[in-house]
Amino acid sequence: MNTMYESLGISREVSDFAETILAGLEVRFHEIDETAEYNQLKVIKAMQDARVSAECFEASSGYGYNDRGRDTLEEVYANVFQTEAALVRPQITCGTHALAIALSANLRPGDEMLSISGKPYDTLEEVIGIRPSRGSLAEYGVTYAQVDLLPDGSFDYEGIRQALRPQTKLVEIQRSKGYQTRPTLSVSQIGEAIAFVKQLRPDIICMVDNCYGEFVERIEPGELGADMVVGSLIKNPGGGLAPAGGYIAGTLACVEQCAFRLTSPGLGREVGANFGVMQSFYQGLFLAPTVTAAALKGAIFAANVYEKLGFAVVPNGTEERHDIIQAVEFGFPEGVIAFCEGIQSAAPVDSYVTPEPWAMPGYDSDVIMAAGAFVQGSSIELSADGPIKPPYAVYFQGGLTWPHAKLGILKSLQRLVEKGLVQLP
């Protein structure tokens, strides 16, 4: 094993250090494997109950009428997320698009949307019109209100009660912290907030941005009353195989609204060819529980390695996990850069390129990104990025297999050691 690691540029010193960290993670990893086992069974049961057959993988073209593979897949998603219905399509281009459909399909001029988990994910700012943008909900006369989480990361129930107005039609809850420093919400916390809202106003639609959270726990927000659960197929539920796509699982009423918005009034779910991607959607979902487990192990390993070396990590090494994102705060730009170089050099694709900080649209500082992915932009594959500004934190996520996630972290550490930026104990 050591010889193999050495052939990939990992020194004995670095692998020995990694092994001492790993020795302390056995119990955590065992728990993750048990969750993966539970969720694997859940997915298999969902596929069996929907009677998935080999014909489901056939390609369709044109209008895509009577597309059995597509319709059955949507039934499988509804089974997995325990909702009445689901929309799972390659025509949904990404997570932001799925969320934009869910919102614009269920809101009308004069309605108000209320976020109760603070500022939503960056790309939603333009969807909502928090930052003015063409085609935003604001342009269509939908207003927006927000209740921030309390300093300890929990819901501000009194604030929510006060923010509910007669025109409030939809409440948005973002499960993952995304690229903020707040803790990620657990499904049970989300369930409590939904119960609170519904008890005051049963008519309000509760939508959960589920990105990065799928299969991290044994339950999903639909089981605790969410009317819509929304996410991207190039994150957890695509299992690394889906080449694109998004999903919306929820009540039949909400999902139908989404279908009429995605395709056209009158057409709804009946149209939408599958272009031959069905096998990757099914097989990706089948693999998603173990792929998510691999990414989680990578995140926990990284947290413990860098915590041991004295850096602040969010979540910390022992915290319970509700998504797959790990932040490491280096405090100096060279740390962020070396970390990303290491992740890049561990990739199966594009391992020979060196990532560099660059100006990116929508960011107020240079950003460095590392990804050597089979699917462009896929963040269930091993990837890291960080803005080159204080506190000089890097965000790390993904890994289709645990050995790859482990190699990525070892390579990052090796780079930091070689550049004299950290000293092993």
Ligand X SMILES: *Cc1c(COP(=O)(O)O)cnc(C)c1O
Which residues here bind ligand X, judged by CB under 6 A? 94-96, 121, 123, 174, 176, 178, 209, 211-212, 232
**What is the C-alpha to C-alpha distance for residues 252 and 85, in angstroms, rounded to an integer?**
5
Decide: 405 and 331 in contact? Cβ < 8 Å. Answer: no
254: helix, coil or strand?
A: helix
**What is the C-alpha to C-alpha distance for residues 194 and 60, in angstroms, rounded to an integer?**
38
Report in angstroms how near the CB of residue 362 gets to ligand X at its nearest.
12
**What is the C-alpha to C-alpha distance for residues 23 and 245, in angstroms, rounded to an integer?**
38
Which is closer to ligand X, CB of 52 or CB of 98? Answer: 98
Q: Helix crossing, 26-49 with 278-308: angle to 10°?
A: 170
Which is closer to ligand X, CB of 317 or CB of 398? Answer: 398
Nearest Cα to Cα of residue 339 among 398, 384, 401, 294? 384
Which is closer to ligand X, CB of 211 or CB of 291? Answer: 211
Report in angstroms how near the CB of residue 45 gets to ligand X at its nearest.
27
Nearest Cα to Cα of residue 172 among 187, 194, 201? 194
Report in angstroms how near the CB of residue 156 gets to ligand X at its nearest.
19
Which is closer to ligand X, CB of 365 or CB of 376? Answer: 376
Report in angstroms how near the CB of residue 185 gets to ligand X at its nearest.
11
Decide: 43 and 293 in contact? Cβ < 8 Å. Answer: no
Q: Which two tokens stand for residue 263?
A: 């395709």
Q: Where are the beta strands (DSSP E) in 47-120?
A: 85-89, 112-115
Residue keyed to tokens 């990739």: 347
The residue of the chain with the least Cβ separation from ligand X equals 95
Report in angstroms how near the CB of residue 118 gets to ligand X at its nearest.
12
Report in angstroms how near the CB of residue 419 gets to ligand X at its nearest.
30
Which is closer to ligand X, CB of 14 or CB of 248? Answer: 248
Which is closer to ligand X, CB of 235 or CB of 411? Answer: 235
Which is closer to ligand X, CB of 185 or CB of 409? Answer: 185
Which is closer to ligand X, CB of 127 or CB of 413? Answer: 127
The helix (H) or strand (E) run that includes residue 406 is: helix 402-418
Decide: 94 and 105 in contact? Cβ < 8 Å. Answer: no
Report in angstroms how near the CB of residue 96 gets to ligand X at its nearest.
3
Which is closer to ligand X, CB of 121 or CB of 282? Answer: 121
Report in angstroms how near the CB of residue 229 gets to ligand X at its nearest.
12
Pairing of strands 85-89, 246-250: antiparallel
Q: Which amino acid would we find at residue 324?
A: I
**What is the C-alpha to C-alpha distance for residues 154 and 223, in angstroms, rounded to an integer?**
20
**What is the C-alpha to C-alpha distance for residues 91 and 275, in angstroms, rounded to an integer?**
10
Decide: 94 and 234 in contact? Cβ < 8 Å. Answer: yes
Report in angstroms how near the CB of residue 68 gets to ligand X at its nearest.
27
